Amino acid sequence: MTEEELVSEENQDSSIYTETGAVRQDFLAAIAAAVEDTDEDWLKEQLSHLHSSELGDVIEALPPEQRIAVVAMMKADFDFAALTEVDEAIRLEIVDQLPNNQIALAVQELDSDDAVYILEDLEPEDQEEILGQLPFTERIRLRRSLDYPEETAGRRMATEFVAVPPFWTVGQTIDYMREDKELPETFSQIFVIDPGFRLLGAVDLDRILRTQRAEKIETVMHETRHAIPVEMDQEEAAQLFERYDLLSAAVVDENDRLVGVLTIDDVVDVIQEEAEEDIKALGGVGDEELSDTTVEIARSRFIWLLMNLGTAVLASLVIGLFDATIEQMVALAVLMPIVASMGGNAATQTMTVAVRALATRDIDIYNAARIIRRETLVGLLNGVMFAALIGLVAGFWFDNPSLGGVIAAAMVINMLAAALAGILIPLVLDKIGADPAIASGVFVTTVTDIVGFFAFLGLAAWWFDLL
Question: Can residue 353 be called a binding residue for a copy of itself (CB under 8 A)?
Answer: yes
CB of 436 to a copy of itself, least distance (A): 13
Mark 376-415 with x for binding to a copy of itself (rule: CB under 8 A) and - for no binding: -xx--xx--xx--xx--x----------------------
Residue from 46, 152, 211, 448 binding a copy of itself (CB under 8 A): 211
Nearer to a copy of itself, 98 or 168 (CB): 168
Give residues 129-168 in contact with a copy of itself (rule: CB under 8 A): none
Distance CA 380, CA 382 (A): 6
Cβ neighbours for 219, distance < 8 A, ≥ 6 positions apart = none
107 touches 81 (CB < 8 A): no
Residue from 183, 388, 409, 439 binding a copy of itself (CB under 8 A): 183
Q: What is the pairing mode between strands 163-164 and 189-193?
A: parallel
75 φ/ψ sector (left φ>0, alpha ψ -120 to 50, else beta): left
CB of 125 to a copy of itself, least distance (A): 32
Give residues 232-271 in contact with a copy of itself (rule: CB under 8 A): 239, 241-245, 247, 264-265, 267-269, 271
CB of 124 to a copy of itself, least distance (A): 30
Nearer to a copy of itself, 119 or 363 (CB): 363
Residue from 10, 366, 369, 465 binding a copy of itself (CB under 8 A): 366
Nearer to a copy of itself, 385 or 467 (CB): 385
Cβ neighbours for 277, distance < 8 A, ≥ 6 positions apart = 287, 437
Give residues 313-342 in contact with a copy of itself (rule: CB under 8 A): 313, 315-316, 319-320, 323, 326-327, 330-331, 333-338, 340-342
| Candidate segments 41-49, 124-132, 152-160, 179-187, binder of a copy of itself by CB under 8 A | 179-187
Mark 297-316 with x for binding to a copy of itself (rule: CB under 8 A) and - for no binding: xx--xx-xx--xx-xxx-xx
Mark 422-461 with x for binding to a copy of itself (rule: CB under 8 A) and - for no binding: -----------------------x---x---x--------
CB of 467 to a copy of itself, least distance (A): 14
Nearer to a copy of itself, 122 or 450 (CB): 450
Residue from 55, 134, 252, 351 binding a copy of itself (CB under 8 A): 351
CB of 6 to a copy of itself, least distance (A): 15
Nearer to a copy of itself, 100 or 446 (CB): 446
Residue from 206, 223, 231, 287 binding a copy of itself (CB under 8 A): 206
99 φ/ψ sector (left φ>0, alpha ψ -120 to 50, else beta): beta
Cβ neighbours for 120, distance < 8 A, ≥ 6 positions apart = 146, 150, 155
Nearer to a copy of itself, 82 or 134 (CB): 82
Number of residues that bind a copy of itself (CB under 8 A): 112
212 touches 228 (CB < 8 A): no
